[in-house]
Amino acid sequence: MECSAINTVASVFVAIGTLAVAVLAIWGDPIKEYFLGPRLRLNLVDPKGDLTIRADGKKVYYYHVRVRNQRGRNVAKAVRVVLQGISKKAASGEFVRQPLVYRLPMVWAPMESGNTERTVVDESTCDFGSLAQTDIAFRPSIMRTPNNFRGQVEKDFCVRFELVAVGQNVFSPMPTVFEVSWDGHWTENQEEMQRHLVVREVSGL
């Protein structure tokens, strides 16, 4: 009986081993990339923004998101940062999801012609949004703006943006949500402006 039990257990382990070898032979690279591949983390570069002058001479605040590869030994290939969700704060205080038919790519910084994807070894940066002195709304830095886009942050509005980094060998990246609220005031004093235009990371839409 004992010999029979040992043989049964051995057969089970052999079967498991054979199955594991077959799985690795078919899906070995994706499995390896999932567990050992690059992990990208998004975070706000500076909540005060970057005050500069546009080509048209208007003063403007730019806000940026850092894309950090937490496993720098594994290069992240063909990376894009995309906007995949929007929600607006309603009068009730609840955030209501806005329609977004497809994910919208963000603009890399600095932007080069045709540069929609980027290799990330350690870290890179993309534009998040901007507000000029004469603007009536904060606008996220998406490459194309659909006609039904509802992501502008006008006076006394609060909007949340869900961003995610995707790439050729980046699996199941966790989304990051940034909240933007604006009271309609604009000033060149960055410390004061941070109280009027508030950009921060939050837990979810």
Q: What is the pLDDT of residue 19?
A: 52
* First and final C-alpha spacing in the chain: 60
Give the percent of the chain with pLDDT over 70: 80
> Is the per-residue pLDDT at 25 higher than 90?
no
Instruction: Give me the residues paired with residue 3 across strands.
Output: none
* pLDDT score of 22: 44
Please check the confidence at residue 200 and state whether its pLDDT lies above 60: yes
Asked if 200 and 179 count as a contact pair (C-beta separation under 8 A), the reply is yes
Residue 17 has pLDDT above 50, yes or no: no
pLDDT digits 0-9 by tens, 131-154: 999 999 999 999 999 999 999 999
Q: Is 90 a residue whose pLDDT tops 90?
A: yes
Question: What are the backbone angles phi and psi of residue 14, rounded to the nearest 5°?
Answer: -65, -40
Averaged over 83-108, what is the pLDDT?
95
Answer whether residue 68 shows pLDDT above 80.
yes
Out of 7-11, 70-74, 91-95, 178-182, least confident range: 7-11
Residue 107's pLDDT is: 96
CB 122 within 8 A of CB 69: yes
User: Could you give the CA distance from residue 40 to residue 155 in angstroms, rounded to a whole number?
Assistant: 33
Average pLDDT over every residue of 196-203: 97
The half-sphere exposure of 130 on its side-chain side, counting CA atoms within 13 A, is 21
Percent share of the chain, pLDDT over 90: 69
Q: What is the pLDDT of residues 152-188, one digit of tens each?
A: 999 999 999 999 999 999 876 689 999 999 999 999 9
In whole angstroms, give the CA distance from residue 108 to residue 74: 21
DSSP 13-61: HHHHHHHHHHHHHHHHHHHHHHHHS--EEEEES-TT-EEEE-TTS-EEE
On whether the CB atoms of residues 43 and 63 are closer than 8 A, the answer is no
Question: How many helices, marked H, and strands, marked E, lie in the chain?
Answer: 2, 14
Helix or strand run (H / E) with residue 87: strand 76-89
Q: Residue 117 has what pLDDT?
A: 93
Q: Are 98 and 150 in contact (CB under 8 A)?
A: yes
Would you kindly state where each structural domain of the chain is located, as residue ranges?
1-36, 39-202
